[in-house]
Structure 1
Amino acid sequence: MPPTNESLIRRIHNELLDQSDEELELELLEDVRNLEELFDNSAEVDEGKLERRRYFSDLFYLQGELVKLQDWVVKSGHKLVILFEGRDAAGKGGVIKRITQRLNPRVCRVAALPAPNDRESTQWYFQRYVSHLPAGGEIVLFDRSWYNRAGVERVMGFCSDEQYEEFFRSVPEFERMLVRSGIQLIKYWFSISDEEQHLRFLSRIHDPLKQWKLSPMDLESRRRWEAYTKAKEVMLARTHIPEAPWWIVRADDKKRARLNCIRHLLSQVPYAEVEHPSVSLPQRQRSKDYTRNQIPPEMLVPEVY
């Protein structure tokens, strides 16, 4: 049964509140007062606040484990690639943001490639992805990947039938080659329902800060929901290999999806805590003849706030 206007408005409102929570989430650790308020067990709180408290508590714990994983990757020279695929508005960007939020960008980086240009379209299909693969001690997260050919390119007619079939012949061998070379490859598909994608698109339309996320291609993908479903089913059936299996994340609830994905990711990597030497701050050297130059007033940014 399709949702009523009243229930749809309520769900869009809740979606906008959740997006506000996302922004709060990025700042919470910087503000001790907010953390104290959030985790104040003496205060009377409603179920919604308890749910937020549990979410933030679990997220901060998992992010701490990600830092340990990062340290182990650097020390061991491990090479890790994680693919994030799914429909538009499925929440891929949200989980990528939470994974990278506390990590060193020199160790963990995101590859989000645009559509191929004229030159790239004549290259070996996987060529432009290869340059983003990790060296030892690095983690690369692909926000969409070479599976574009099995999804958007197939549905929108951007590749021929021959190119499509060649992709399925090549991709298992390509991924096995990566694994043989020492790269650990983890593939996630974020799965959302028809109704949930409809809601998220509506919330983006009504949120001026997120309207940029809706491209003409996104809107067309909404119209071709069934075609994308068929393409996804073929893709999963033909590329689910033992060396690099697919993992499906149920993503109608974004916060649960983030936690479940991060927890599963941690379970897939044999990391261990790395001991670090204690750090002490050295005394600053001071010279009697040192005088700090004054900054010219015209160079200063106006202190409006």
Structure 2
Amino acid sequence: MNDEIHRIKNEIIDSFDEELEQQMEEDRLDELVADGLSEPTIDRKIYFRELFRLQHELVRLQDWVQYKKLKMIVLFEGRDSAGKGGAIKRVTQRLNPRVCRVVALPAPTERERSQWYFQRYVQHLPTAGEMVLFDRSWYNRAGVERVMGFCTPDELEEFFRSVPEFERMLVRSGIILVKYWFSITDEEQEFRFQMRINDPLKQWKLSPMDLESRVHWEDYTRAKEEMLERTHIPEAPWWVVQAVDKKKARLNMIAHLLSQIPYEHVPKETIELPARVRGADYSRHPVPEEMYVPEKY
């Protein structure tokens, strides 16, 4: 029994280490650029304690969504490098991918560009008992498509006319819709881009569109301001996350998300592991040595 408890403790520590390893990697990136460009961050012990507590609550929320057959959408929007992906990772890290899934659509195909604008998003909407997180969403039209000239002024205006009704329709159908905008400063975006430029492990995150976004900072600001003004509706309001400090942003966003649904404890049956059935005529065949992965560690 003691050996089993020891192994369980080690397994828990390993799961914590995954989060620590990811955080240490971020700290390593910080050392590659000049000090003092980022705001002071939350104490590490407090951060991890609260993150694990909130992730435990996210599991309870997930169970409630599944138990009550709820349908939930969470939109993550913001400038490039605003921390959307990191926040999504912390939300989904301990959850069942069959219940909570992430949608991150690529650029539309030629066929999709000829469809009703919302059509390619509709097929990813949740069914009963599902949570869907959109890593960017139909708001691409109000942001990158507008700034980079990928849509016409008439298409943009039609989007602004349609999106409030589209979202009201989703809410009337029983979908819980939560919209987050991750807000960072000009200086912080430059700092994060410099980190990506100077680290070969992160350079893949820096696309030509990201570089172009630096040139169009003010254009994106104007686009964001109009988007928030015209699509902030009572049925589906926007929630702005102060995201210069990534750790605080994650904790604040998750805590707010948990407050959006009055979830409760889900009754569960006691799980008992059945005894293994052993057949008298079964004997395990040895695995050839050449099939094993070499144990270099």
Same fold (TM over 0.5): yes
Q: Which residue of 2 aligns with 1:303?
A: 295
Q: Which residue of 2 aligns with 1:218?
A: 210
> Of the candidates 101, 114, 118, which is equivalent to residue 126 of structure 1?
118
1:34–1:137 Cα change, 3 Å:
closer
Q: Which residue of 2 aligns with 1:231?
A: 223
Q: Which residue of 2 aligns with 1:260?
A: 252
Give the distance between the partners of 2:242 and 2:261, measured in 1 at CA. Answer: 21
> Of the candidates 157, 171, 179, which is equivalent to residue 163 of structure 2?
171
> Of the candidates 51, 57, 65, which is equivalent to residue 73 of structure 1?
65
Q: Which residue of 2 aligns with 1:85?
A: 77
1:115 aligns with 2:98: no
- Give CA-to-partner distance per residue, 1:161-190, whole Å, 9 cap, x none: 110000001100100000010001000000
1:250 aligns with 2:234: no
1:143 counterpart letter in structure 2: D
1:177–1:87 Cα change, 3 Å:
same
Give the distance between the partners of 1:49 and 1:168, measured in 2 at CA. Answer: 37
1:201 aligns with 2:193: yes
1:292–1:144 Cα change, 3 Å:
same
Instruction: Compute the TM-score of the two structures, normalised by the length of structure 1.
Output: 0.84
How is 1:119-198 mapped onto 2 (pairs within 5 angstroms)?
119-198=111-190
CA RMSD of aligned residues (A): 1.9
1:158 counterpart letter in structure 2: F
Tell me if structure 2 keeps the 8 A contact 1:109–1:141.
yes
Give the distance between the partners of 2:147 and 2:41, measured in 1 at CA. Answer: 42
Tell me if structure 1 keeps the 8 A contact 2:41–2:248.
no
Q: Which residue of 1 aligns with 2:91?
A: 99
2:275 counterpart letter in structure 1: Q
Shift of 1:82: 0.2
* 5+ long unaligned stretches in structure 1: 1-26, 36-47
**How many aligned positions are there?**
267
What percentage of aligned pairs have identical amino acids? 69
1:66–1:220 Cα change, 3 Å:
same
1:198–1:50 Cα change, 3 Å:
closer
Counterpart secondary structure, 1:189: strand
Shift of 1:29: 3.9
1:144–1:32 Cα change, 3 Å:
closer
- Give CA-to-partner distance per residue, 1:187-206, whole Å, 9 cap, x none: 00000000000100001111
* 5+ long unaligned stretches in structure 2: 1-10, 20-39
Q: Which residue of 2 aligns with 1:30?
A: 14
* More deviation, 174-183/49-58: 49-58
- Give CA-to-partner distance per residue, 1:244-286, whole Å, 9 cap, x none: 0000000000000000000000001121111212212111011
1:232–1:213 Cα change, 3 Å:
same
